[in-house]
Amino acid sequence: MTALLPLVLLAAMAGAATLLLEQGGRRGYGWVTGSEFALAGIFLGPFGIDLLSEELIGHARLPIALGASWVGLGLGLRLRPNALAKAPGRHVVASQLEPIIAMLVLRGLLEAGIRFSGLPLSSIAAWALAAAGGATTRATLDWARAQRGARGPLTDGLRTLVTLDDLPPLFALAAIFALVPPHATRLVSAWQRLAATAGLGLGLAALVVLIVGRRRFVPQLAWLALFGASALGTGLAQELTVLPLAATCLCGAIVARSTRHADKLEEVTRSTQRPVIQLLLLLAGASLRGGLWTLVAAIGFALLRFLAKTIAGVAVSPLVSPRGLRVPSLGLGMLGGGGIIFAGAFSAALVLEPSIGTPLLAGSVAMVLLGDLVGPKALWLLLRGRGEVADPSAAGAPP
Amino acid sequence: MNLRRASLFELVRGLGLLLVLAALLTSVRLVAPARDVASSTLLGLGILIFGGYIAAHLCENLGLPHLTGYIVAGLVLGPNTLGFVSEDTIQGLRPTNSVALALIALTAGAELSFGLLRRGARSLGFAIGAHLLIVLPMTFAALLALRRFLPFLQALPIAGAAAAALLWAVIAMSRSPSSTLGVISQLRPAGPLTRHVLSVVITMDLVVLISFSIARVLAAMAIEGGSANLSALEELGTTLTGSLACGTTVGLVIALWLKLVKRQLLLFLLVIAYAGTQLAGYFHFEPLLLFLTAGFVVSNLTGQGEELMDLVGAGGQIVFVVFFALAGAHVDLGLVVRVWPIAITLWLVRAVATVIGSRMAASLAGDGPAVRRYAGFSMLSQAGTTITLSTAVGDRFPALAGLTAIAVAVAALDELTGPLLFKWSLDHSGETGKHKEHAPIEAHA
């Protein structure tokens, strides 16, 4: 029996429990991004009862890398021209500006925090953390729309924002990965590695498009092409020392623009995205290393992120707020940590040198956990203030 | 004209895919040599998936079954030829292979129904009888006749050589449910030949399992001396009952999920397939039998067989590509070349015995002409079970290592030719919709 079996069974039981507890597919119990899995991971890992040992996590490196690439592919496929065309231009601009501002503010706050506390955090690690904290999860808004009946112009604006705001952090993460590759190759400069990421994404997209074709949609072929692209993309990216998630995301984005089956292809990845992220959260929780101070620092980072997101929200609110109405507290709707960027950060953290990987992993887990704790409540307050929650009395308390 | 243009387009598409894949692999190889086992495993998986698809696509244009394409891709890309997929990668992909086999077995079990077995019981009985009374003796005699060309048999006393021949004959009876299902999933044939072949091939797995255990006891007595050690039969009993019981439980769990949860079905099946295979390995159960039973239970006791087959069908292409490309990667052409005269002789005898036996069985059972003419040609594939049994012989009786090599070489030949002949048979029996002039054959049955 292989060492991975207990892990698979555990993940299966956790997944089954989640599915049974969910109400008609909407997360009625548990947290919106599923960060209870991260908590379970922490409990089962070295910080807790040590059931998920370091050796076991080592065995799981392959599914982790593959899972992150799969999530990246889904993000790319989300960028379909027909979906983007429906969103107002200013919302799209805001969706790219907001994470950039959040990352810059967070980087500044981290710099100040490092100076104040004297933590031995390198500049590149601070950038990596800022990148991981830049994005927002879509799950919080999905929860508000499905569970609380949120409808209205602000909800629509936020929807565009949280759908597209993964891109700048992803690009930043890819650039950081290119700057500090885990092992040496003949690609000596970061630019060469970024170019290799683009080339790989293009090549994978060509394979997928040639298989899926423009004719009748065949689900079996879609699965084959997408799964094959994830596996091949991850393998090749690891050899080229580029971020696999960035390559598959680019592949997905090109495929979304090159085939008329993009909607159905996205459906293939969307249907599996949540369990994949949940499994990654479980493993990430169990992979946490370092002492108690690492956890405290990670929580500090998550709190700084809230501040950065709030500031970024203020900055872009003129672009997102309904006409004639300023919503300076827009950042409240974007406190949930991005699951996709978390997946990228986690897979990167496992291969990057520990001085970057350890804080990146701890920070990402804390960001998702605290984001899930605070994010839904904050969003609910924001939307209630604007009257976009359908029935405030029925809404009761948020999760 | 349009048809020709469409074929040309498909050919260009296949070549385009090949070009892109080759360009990607070559450029990466230029920049970075393979370093990380984990990345090599994923890379190997990706290469086999795309390589298998491309080969299958080109095979389809040549009128060959997809399965041949997958196997050829594995053979060409594998460690014994171009080496894009190394031996380490193949070892790393063993869990993937087990999951693929489990899903194939689940589908095969779900394809079987009480009705199908009841309707074909007479034909099935005669077919199994023919295997035991014709294929087994003919292949047994063939190996004994070749004894003077085989040093490892010459070194044994006549009783030992006969025991070795018995082991070979049992292995020769084994068929490949996965190959059969692979061709069926591509061509979607319907008719008496398809039903007959499917039920015989699956049932033969059980017959071979029992026969092999008995043959192993007899071989131990003949080669190592001493009295009969019936522990092997005891093991067989545990394996069979355990596999059936565990398979039933797994089937009920799948049915419950399909009924109550109805979500994340594919992921659930993957987990079940992986966990079931690992548990089967731990308890020494037979994974193929376990998942066949599970599929059978879902299909016949819960009425959710269609749903299960649709579900596996969604990821079916990946499952078949991975499984058969890996099987192709395992084929050691060097070995086949080394023992080719013996291997080809035994391969021919097995094929002839199967065709004669199937024809006689069909005649006696009163089957229609499609089954009578083509059943034998449709059941020549060998794959996983054969290789597992052959390896088990070498492990248990080191003196018979040569037999393992020969049996694996014969299996390699069957692996390459079996799907071709099955497709040819289905086409000519009119069950794939091609060769309409043979349509009356279907009508007869």
**Could you give the ipTM of this predicted complex?**
0.84
> Which of B18, B28, B258, B265 is the best residue to mutate to test the A interface, defined by the most A CB atoms within 10 Å of its own CB?
B28
Contacts of residue B334, Cβ cutoff 8 Å, sequence gap at least 6:
B80
Up-side HSE of residue A347: CA atoms within 13 Å toward CB?
34
Q: Which of residues 270-299 of B touch A (CB under 8 A)?
A: 271, 274-275, 278-279, 281-282
Whether the predicted pLDDT of A383 surpasses 60 = yes
Better-scored residue on pLDDT, B228 or B40: B40
Min CA distance, A389 vs chain B (Å)? Answer: 28
> In whole angstroms, what is the distance from residue B406 CA to residue B393 CA?
12
Mean pLDDT of all residues in chain B?
83
Residue A269 lies in a domain: yes
> In whole angstroms, what is the distance from residue A297 CA to residue A292 CA?
9
Determine the residue of chain B that is closest to A239 in CA distance: B32
Name the nearest CA neighbour of B79 among B71, B92, B89, B69. B89
Q: Range of A301's domain?
A: 4-12+33-386
How many percent of chain B have pLDDT more than 70?
91
| Phi/psi of residue A48, nearest 5 degrees | -115, -115
* CB < 8 Å to A229, chain B: 46
Q: Does A182 touch chain B (CB under 8 A)?
A: no
For residue B84 the two structure tokens come to 């894009």
pLDDT of residue A24: 46
Contacts of residue B433, Cβ cutoff 8 Å, sequence gap at least 6:
none
pLDDT tens for A320-354 read 777 666 777 888 888 888 788 888 888 888 888 88
Mean pLDDT of B185-191: 83
Distances (CA, A) of A157 to A9, A85, A89, A384, B134: 40, 14, 11, 15, 75
Q: Which CATH number do you get for residue A309?
A: 1.20.1530.10
Residue A207 lies in a domain: yes
Q: Which of residues 307-346 of A touch B (CB under 8 A)?
A: none
pLDDT tens for B82-121 read 888 888 888 888 888 888 888 888 887 887 778 777 878 8
Whether the predicted pLDDT of B227 surpasses 70 = no
- Listed ranges A27-36, A289-298, B352-361, B396-405; the one with the highest mean pLDDT: B352-361
Whether the predicted pLDDT of B391 surpasses 80 = no
Residue A86 lies in a domain: yes
For residue A300 the two structure tokens come to 């500090």
> In whole angstroms, what is the distance from residue B306 CA to residue A137 CA?
37
Residues A354, A355, A356: CA angle, nearest 5 degrees:
85
Distances (CA, A) of B58 to A75, B185, B302: 32, 18, 40
Whether the predicted pLDDT of B233 surpasses 60 = yes
Q: Which of residues 212-251 of B touch A (CB under 8 A)?
A: none
Residue A27 lies in a domain: no
> Which of A5, A59, A239, A269 is the best residue to mutate to test the B interface, defined by the most B CB atoms within 10 Å of its own CB?
A239
Q: Any bridge partners for residue A26, and if so which? A: A23
How many percent of chain A have pLDDT more than 90?
22
> In whole angstroms, what is the distance from residue B352 CA to residue B359 CA?
11
> In whole angstroms, what is the distance from residue A224 CA to residue A274 CA?
20
Contact A208, A133 (CB under 8 A): no
Residue A344 lies in a domain: yes
Q: Any bridge partners for residue A136, and if so which? A: A337
For residue A66 the two structure tokens come to 């593959």
Whether the predicted pLDDT of A398 surpasses 50 = no
Total beta-carbon pairs less than 8 A apart between chain A and chain B? 151
Residue A366 lies in a domain: yes
pLDDT of residue B440: 36
pLDDT of residue B141: 95
Question: pLDDT-based confidence at B35, cuts 50/70/90?
Answer: low
Q: Do B278 and A15 touch (CB under 8 A)?
A: no
pLDDT of residue A202: 95
Determine the residue of chain A that is closest to B277 in CA distance: A1
Question: pLDDT-based confidence at A311, cuts 50/70/90?
Answer: very high
Min CA distance, B341 vs chain A (Å)? Answer: 39
Better-scored residue on pLDDT, A130 or B434: A130
Q: Which of residues 107-166 of A touch B (CB under 8 A)?
A: none
Report how many domains make up chain A.
Answer: 1
Better-scored residue on pLDDT, A95 or B36: A95
Q: Do B44 and A236 touch (CB under 8 A)?
A: no
How many percent of chain B have pLDDT more than 90?
22
Residue type at B389? L
Q: Does A275 touch chain B (CB under 8 A)?
A: yes
Whether the predicted pLDDT of B190 surpasses 80 = yes
Mean pLDDT of A15-26: 57
